[in-house]
Amino acid sequence: MRDFLQILLVGIGDGAVYAMLGLGLVVIYRSTGLLNFAQGEMAMFSTFIVWTMWSIGLPMWLAILAGMAGGFGVGALVHQVAVRPVGDPHEKPLAVVIVTIGLFLGVNGAAQLIWGTLDRSLPPLFGRGQVTVFGVAVAWQKIGAVIALSVMVLLFYLLFQHTKLGLAMRAVASNSESASLVGIPVPRLLMLGWGLAAAVGTVAGVFIAPNLGLGTNLMQLTLIFGFAAITLGGFDSLVGAVVGGFVVGALSSVMPRYITIFEKMPLAPAFILILAVLLFRPEGLFGKKQVTRV
C-alpha cells in the first residue's frame, strides 16, 4: 500500500507539470484555435534561457522570471511571424500542422545552435530533499510543482476573471470577429496569448529539467502528456487542463508499475486516453461540445 501511495504521489507531482503545459496549450487553443505541437520546444527554449541567466549568477527565482519573460517574447514573436499569416486552422489544417511542425524543428534547432548539444544541469528549485507524508517519502520538488501550479492557476483566475485585459482575451476567444468590431485589438491579444502560453511552459521546463538533464530533447515525450491532459480535460478548458494533468500524471505513474506490459512505455496510458476521449467524448470532461453545421 505504501508503495502504491508513493508511486501515486510521484505521479501527482509529475501531473502538476503536465497541467502547466496543458494550461499553455489551452490558452493557445482558445485564442487561435489550434493545437500547438511546438509548445514543448518553446518551453525547452525558455528553460535554456533560465539556465543561462542562472549560470551567470542570477538567483534561481530571478532566472526563472527572466526565462519566462524571454519565453513570452519568443511566443509572441512566433505567433506574429509564423502563426498569424497562415490562416484559419479549421479551413487549412494541414498548413497549420506543417507550420507548427516547422516551429518544432526550428525552435529545437535554434536551441541546439545557441546552446550546443551537451546536456546542462539545472538545479531543482526546491532542492533534492524529501519529506515524509502519510509515511511515504515525497520529494520537495514534487510538492513545489503542485505549489507552482496552484500559483499559476490563481494568477490566471485573477487575470481572466478580474481584469479588463482578461475580459478582452476571453472575448477574443469566444468570438474574435465580434471582439474586433467592439474595438478590441485582436491581433495584439492573440500575440499576448501565445506569449503567456510560452511563459507558463517555462515553469514546466524548470521542473522537468533537474531530473532529465537539460537537453534539447527535454520535452519530446512530455508534450504528449500535456496533450493527453487537455484532451481529457477539454481543449478549451483551463480547469480541465489542471484536472486532466493530475489524472494523466497519476495514471502514467501507476499503470507502468503495476501492468507489466506498460513497463517501458509510460506514454502508453496517455496515448490510450487520447484515443478513447477523442472517440467517445471529444469535448473531454469540461470542454464545450463542438457542433458542425452541414
Q: At closest approach, how far in Å is the CB of 49 from other proteins?
A: 17
Residue closer to other proteins (CB basis): 37 or 156: 37
| Nearest to other proteins of 152, 232 (CB atom) | 232
- Name the residue nearer to other proteins (CB basis): 112 or 178: 112
**Residue 250 identity (one-letter amino acid):** A
Q: How far is the CB of 107 from other proteins (least distance, A)?
A: 7
Lookup result for grid cell 490563481: 154
Specify the residue, 108 or 176, whose C-beta has the smaller distance to other proteins.
Answer: 108
What is d(CA 187, CA 190) in angstroms, rounded to the nearest whole number?
5
Phi first, then psi, for residue 219 (nearest 5°) are -105, 5
Cβ proximity to other proteins, 68 vs 176, nearer residue = 176
Give the max Cα distance, the chain. Answer: 59
Three-class secondary structure of residue 217 per DSSP:
coil
Do residues 147 and 131 touch, judged by C-beta distance below 8 A? no
| Closest distance to other proteins from the beta carbon of 76 (Å) | 16
Nearer to other proteins by Cβ, of 183 and 292: the residue is 292
Residue 84 CA to residue 74 CA, distance in Å, equals 14
**Nearer residue to other proteins within complex by CB, 23 or 35:** 35
Residue 18 sits at the vertex; the CA angle it makes with 17 and 22, to the nearest 5 degrees, is 120
Task: Please state whether 36 falls in left (phi above 0), alpha (psi between -120 and 50) or beta.
Answer: beta
DSSP string, 83-104: IGGG--TTT-HHHHHHHHHHHH
Nearer to other proteins, 130 or 166 (CB): 130
Q: In 33-116, which residue ranges form alpha helices assigned H by DSSP?
A: 39-55, 60-78, 93-115
Chain residues in the site for other proteins (CB under 8 A): 34-35, 37, 81-82, 85-86, 89-90, 92-99, 101-110, 112-113, 116-119, 121, 128, 130, 137, 211-213, 215, 217, 220-221, 224, 227-228, 231, 261-268, 270-271, 274-275, 278-279, 282, 294
Dist CA 243 CA 72 (whole Å): 25
Phi, psi of 120 (to 5 degrees): -105, 165
Report d(CA 190, CA 92) in Å as an integer: 19
